[in-house]
Amino acid sequence: MGLGFLFYYTGILLEHAERNWFIGIRTPWTLSSEKVWKKTHERGGTLFKISGILSIFGIFFQTYAFYFTIIPILFVTLYTIVYSYLEFERETQ
């Protein structure tokens, strides 16, 4: 349950993060474009909040609670990396 709240709060912070070298989704593509940074962090923040809610639902299915936490976070991590790359490619064309 604690991880669920942590992921949800991380989503809130990501949505408001300014471009920097220390905090946020720091891929080469997000760091080189302000527009890509904003789009990636808006989408990533929303997905992290959804992952947090799914993690909290793991309380009701204790046998599968680990999967309710790990699978959404792995998906969000991979998705945001690919999304930032695709947004950067779209912007540079």
What's the whole-number mean pLDDT along residues 13-26? 92
Q: 18 exposed, middle or buried (CB, 10 Å; 0-12, 13-18, 19+)?
A: exposed
pLDDT in tens, 42-92: 999 999 999 999 999 999 998 999 999 999 999 999 999 999 999 999 999
Residue 41 has a pLDDT of 96
Burial (0-12, 13-18, 19+ Cβ within 10 Å), 41: buried
What is the C-alpha to C-alpha distance for residues 50 and 68, in angstroms, rounded to an integer?
Answer: 11
